[in-house]
Amino acid sequence: MKASKINNINSAALQDEEGREIKQEYNITVYTENQIGLLSRIAIIFTRRKINIYSLNTSPSEIESIHRFNIVVNETEDIVRKLARQIEKQVEVLKVYFNTNEDVIWQELALYKVPTDIIAEKASVERLLRENGARAVVIRKDYTVFETTGHREETDALITILQPFGLIEFVRSARVAIIKDSEGFNQKLREFEKAEPGEEVIENEYLNNGQKIFTM
């Protein structure tokens, strides 16, 4: 299955006072077939251009057997457009979109491990956690793990809050994002298959004419 590759770009390039493009965060969404080795080949595209990947998430998509990559970079629109074109040259890639943070709805999940005795002794810590939307997912005698979701600035703020209370460990997930102004790749794929239906597969073109072929 190979959909028509058209870069559907909805982004706003930032420029400085002299009209030169400046860097900003872009979310690159890639729909692909699930093939071994594709991730490494996509990573090489960034490595060759010496572009750092700030976040990389892979997951199933809304279409069965089709996977979705969400890649976050901090670059100019021109560079990101070239990256998208290079990614689309991969045989298994069906579609690539790129959008600014303003054009997507995105979240990141974070986990915080803190000493349980401090949480129990100081009610202010529990109040601060509630105010920041955190909830306990594991409570043990020696430590408690809290979970929260939000933008990077929000999860970073909670690190600062918990440091004075003996923050033991912190980890943040890759970004998950949904494009705001989009009908979804599923709809586009259906339209493509309707406009250009694939040929019917015939395992044996003479199968239905057996009587004629094998009659002496």
pLDDT of residue 132: 86
The answer as to whether 50 is a domain residue is no
- Confidence (pLDDT) at 126: 76
Weakest mean pLDDT among 88-102, 114-128, 150-164, 167-181:
114-128
The answer to whether residue 163 sits within a structural domain is yes
Contacting residues for 59 by C-beta, under 8 A, at least 6 apart? 67, 68, 70, 176
Mean pLDDT of 112-137: 85
**Is 15's pLDDT higher than 60?**
yes
CATH for 147: 3.30.70.1150
For residue 154, is it within any domain?
Answer: yes
pLDDT band at 46 (very low <50, low <70, confident <90, very high): very high
Q: What mean pLDDT is reported for the chain? A: 83
HSE-up of 94 (CA within 13 Å, CB side)? 21
Does the residue 183 lie in any domain?
no
pTM, whole model, 2 decimals?
0.76
- Asked whether residue 181 is assigned to any structural domain, the reply reads no
Of 25-34, 117-126, 143-152, 181-190, give the lowest mean pLDDT range: 181-190
The answer to which of 25-34, 142-151, 153-162, 205-214 has the lowest mean pLDDT is: 205-214
Cβ-based burial of 143 (10 A; exposed 0-12, middle 13-18, buried ≥19): middle
Residue 155 has pLDDT above 90, yes or no: yes
The predicted pLDDT at position 12 comes to 59
Residue 168, domain member (yes or no): yes
* Per-residue model confidence (pLDDT) at position 5: 46
Query: Taking a C-beta distance cutoff of 8 angstroms, is the pair 74, 52 a contact?
Result: yes
Q: Is the pLDDT at 213 greater than 50, yes or no?
A: no
26 and 100 in contact (C-beta within 8 Å)?
yes
Query: Is the confidence at residue 2, as pLDDT, over 80?
Result: no
pLDDT at residue 151 is higher than 80 = yes
pLDDT digits (tens, 9 = 90+) for 69-119: 999 999 999 999 999 999 999 989 999 999 999 999 999 999 999 999 988
**Can you read off the two tokens belonging to residue 33?**
């077939």
Domain range for residue 116? 106-172
Number of domains in the chain: 1
Q: Which helix (H) or strand (E) holds 84?
A: helix 77-88
Structural domain includes residue 14? no
Answer yes or no: is 126 within a domain. yes
Q: Would you state the structure tokens that stand for residue 85, as one six-digit string?
A: 């074109």
